[in-house]
Amino acid sequence: MAYRYPPLARKLHWATAALVAVMIGLGFWITWFEPKNATLKFALYDVHESTGVLVFVLVLARLLRRMANPPAPLPSTVPKLVRAAAHANHLLLYALLLLQPVLGFLATNAWGFPFRWARLIPFPSPVGKDEALAPVLSDLHLAGAILLLLLIGAHLGGAFFHGVIRRDGVVQRML
């Protein structure tokens, strides 16, 4: 039987994917269709930010699990260039999924908004209100979101390539 990721790895992967989809949807809504109602707008920010913390924690858990139990390598039939591209994409996805919540958190702080996870647990404000830094951090967060979308597109393209074109069993590793 071909290699499959362990159940915990698959669950963490799909939970991360679902939460990132929520984050992207909320990010688009907040940025391009900003609600006129301030209460709704701040509620959307709260959910976006609190979900970002969950993504950060899940990705850390995934990395720790992966370091403790490295996956089997891709089949030898997968070309070296494809393996290198997959490795680079995964590495960048992990890095960005850790960096994005941090940038968002720092941007929120720099705009002068304290953060309470799920409106319950206060987080310290390491930056404090800084009107010069806030737009820079927000722009970096937006750039990261665009890069994240491109990386997810490449990841999905790779899944399509392996699942539909090559049919080499690589996609089944995570299903």
* Domain presence at residue 126: yes
* Domain presence at residue 69: yes
* Domain presence at residue 2: no
Local mean pLDDT, 10-residue blocks, the chain (175 residues): 82 96 94 92 94 96 93 86 93 97 96 88 89 96 97 95 85 84
Instruction: Please write the tens of the pLDDT for every residue from 128-150.
Output: 899 999 999 999 999 999 999 99
Q: Quick check: helix, strand or coil at residue 113?
A: coil
The range of the structural domain enclosing residue 118 comes to 7-173
State the Cα–Cα distance between residues 26 and 44, nearest whole angstrom. 7
Q: pTM of the prediction?
A: 0.90
State the Cα–Cα distance between residues 118 and 61, nearest whole angstrom. 20
Q: How many domains does the chain have?
A: 1
State the Cα–Cα distance between residues 103 and 141, nearest whole angstrom. 6
Say which CATH number the domain at 117 has. Answer: 1.20.950
